[in-house]
Amino acid sequence: MLPLLLLPLAWADMEPPDFGRVLAREQAAVLEALNAQGQHAEVVEAGERFQREIVPSAEVEYEVAFAWSALGERERARRHYRRAVELDPDDAASWYDLGEILLRDQDLDAAEEAFSHAAALRSDHWAGHFRLAEIAARRHQPDPFEQHLRDALRAGFSFRVVLGDANWAGYYREPALREVLRRLVTVYSDERLLDAFEQEDLAP
């Protein structure tokens, strides 16, 4: 009988479930499905109401931010992404998406900060490293450009992703950046891709 007598004591030592977090995860899943269906206005309404009336949540904030971005409201999206990372500084997805908005707005310093957080939190994914490389290229900085590209390549990036990209064709036209690209394509990829870069370089 002793184990049964001790059972209530064992339960008493356990932390009770965080029902706010459970509700937030369930709500975020519902909002994610609505976003996938293109019902972004419904996501904004339901998500903001949940935040006001139930509990603040980084997961719900992310879905609201995504919806505002899809609706073309970048400033509102940016505010909600920032709120998401305030609630959860380890929210890599919000950091990354915030960086995308900041990059489109040409705010390179803030974008670099956001992508640095995303890359540190998800070092196994190439996207954050790739965007950091792009920021270095826009600043005409070959050394960090190479380092971030190496990190992206180790995490699974392929140069085929940027073939046909006008920005990267422009980077290839810069002698210092071109040397980095030629070196890394030779080491990590198929040298035949250099022909594609050369053709883009010659394009009007």
Do 112 and 33 lie in one domain? The reply is: yes
CA distance 163 to 171: 12
Do 55 and 93 lie in one domain? The reply is: yes
The total number of structural domains that make up the chain:
2
Segment 94-119, tens digit of pLDDT = 999 999 999 999 999 999 999 999 99
For residue 184, the number of C-alpha atoms closer than 13 Å in the C-beta half-sphere is 25
Do 149 and 115 lie in one domain? The reply is: no
Do 140 and 114 lie in one domain? The reply is: no
48 CB-near residues (< 8 Å, 6+ apart): 64
Do 110 and 163 lie in one domain? The reply is: no
Q: Judge whether 10 lies within some domain.
A: no
Do 40 and 118 lie in one domain? The reply is: yes
Output the average pLDDT for the chain: 89
pTM of the model: 0.86
Segment 24-36, tens digit of pLDDT = 999 999 999 999 9
Do 80 and 42 lie in one domain? The reply is: yes
Domain limit, last residue, from 122, 147, 170: 122
Report the range of poorest mean pLDDT among 12-16, 51-55, 103-107, 181-185. Answer: 12-16
Q: Judge whether 170 lies within some domain.
A: yes
Is the Cα torsion angle 101, 106, 111, 112 positive or negative in sign? Answer: positive
Q: Judge whether 5 lies within some domain.
A: no
Domain limit, last residue, from 101, 122, 143: 122
pLDDT grade for 200, boundaries at 50, 70 and 90: low
Do 105 and 157 lie in one domain? The reply is: no
The residue whose two tokens read 């070959």 is 142
Do 55 and 70 lie in one domain? The reply is: yes
Do 154 and 73 lie in one domain? The reply is: no
Segment 126-160, tens digit of pLDDT = 999 999 999 999 999 999 999 999 999 999 999 99
The DSSP code sequence of 2-34 is HHHHHHHHHHHHSPPP-HHHHHHHHHHHHHHHH
- Residue ranges making up the domain that contains 144: 127-204
Do 99 and 58 lie in one domain? The reply is: yes
